[in-house]
Amino acid sequence: MNPASLRRTLVFGGARSGKSAHAERLALAAADAGEIIYLATAAGRTDAEMQLRIEQHRARRDALGGQWRTVQEPMALGRALREHGRADNVVLVDCLTVWLSNLLFADGIEFPEMGPIIAPTAFTLERVDFLRALQEAPGRVILVSNEVGMGIVPQGAVSRWFVDEAGRLNQSVAAVCEQVHWVAAGLPLSFKGGPC
């Protein structure tokens, strides 16, 4: 595959697998002294544990160097890709599963422990818009996502729904991307598109 045609890359793996660090290195290498837009989906999350994670990510990016600009977008990823994606920059989205969680709880609904889960309207609309924007993106886009479906099947209905939808989202994004990398123990493995 021609390196110029590798515009979209999905990097996925388990928690603390090294996927974000790998995606950041890919973004820096692809930027060629241009700007890297870091689309952060954890915007608005204020608990201490999430703030610590955000600070760790920032410190790692600062240590890498390069021209990073953080844009916080917890919901409208499709709009953000259209607004910030250009042929001469790199957009790094971190991460899709946090975004999925944001969409699931967008309406503040209390979900039942048993029975069917009805997705909020925002989930359906934003998911469709995001996938369309990803297909149309004019420049380099690197996406980070968690693989959450390799453990036990969760007991609660909303947790099962989340695992199912994260798997479906990863499949849809992987189908659009020219490259797909799996990361485990800090080691990337190419599933699609040639070497890492």
Rounded-to-10 torsion of CA 93, 88, 32, 61? -30
Q: Which helix (H) or strand (E) holds 71?
A: strand 67-72
Strands 35-40 and 8-13: unpaired
Helices (H), the chain: 19-31, 48-64, 77-84, 96-104, 121-136, 157-176
Scan for tokens 């890498």, then name that residue.
Answer: 64
Is 57 a catalytic site residue?
yes
Cα distance between residue 179 and residue 3, in whole Å? 10
Q: Which of 22, 57, 84, 181 is catalytic?
A: 57
Catalytic residues: 57
